[in-house]
Amino acid sequence: MALGIFWSKRADKKFDNILDRLSREWGEKVTSAFVKKVYDFLDILIEFPEIGSLENAEKGIHGFVIVKQITIFYKISGSKIILLNFFDNRQGQKKKKY
């Protein structure tokens, strides 16, 4: 049974911010390519929810690098996958928020 994808408020807001920045600085072609990568990943994630590396075992949080600058964090809760955050990897490990 495939799991459903749910976006947290933080993930939704961060995704929108990333799209705004990409559109402003790099244009629609780059923005569209990023959106495609994210949604292609989500299609795979539905079928293979354990694909990401386990970032925090206690909280069951997984991470997956979408592009070298952005990691998506998510957790599996029952029959759903909750997208927690899009993290800019250039910020460094100490600022990592799930």
Give the residue extent of every domain in the chain.
4-90
Q: What is the pTM of this model?
A: 0.89
Q: Which residue has the higher pLDDT, 23 or 3?
A: 23
Structure tokens at 2: 């495939």
How far is 61 from 98, CA to CA, in rounded Å? Answer: 7
Percentage of the chain modeled with pLDDT above 90: 85
Q: For the segment 47-95, what is each residue's pLDDT rounded down to a tens digit?
A: 999 999 999 999 999 999 999 999 999 999 999 999 999 999 887 665 6
CATH superfamily of 4-90: RelE-like (3.30.2310.20)
Q: For residue 56, what are the β-bridge partners?
A: 61
The pLDDT assigned to 57 comes to 93
The pLDDT assigned to 1 comes to 58
Q: Which residues contact 36 (CB under 8 A, 6 or more apart)?
A: none
The pLDDT assigned to 94 comes to 58
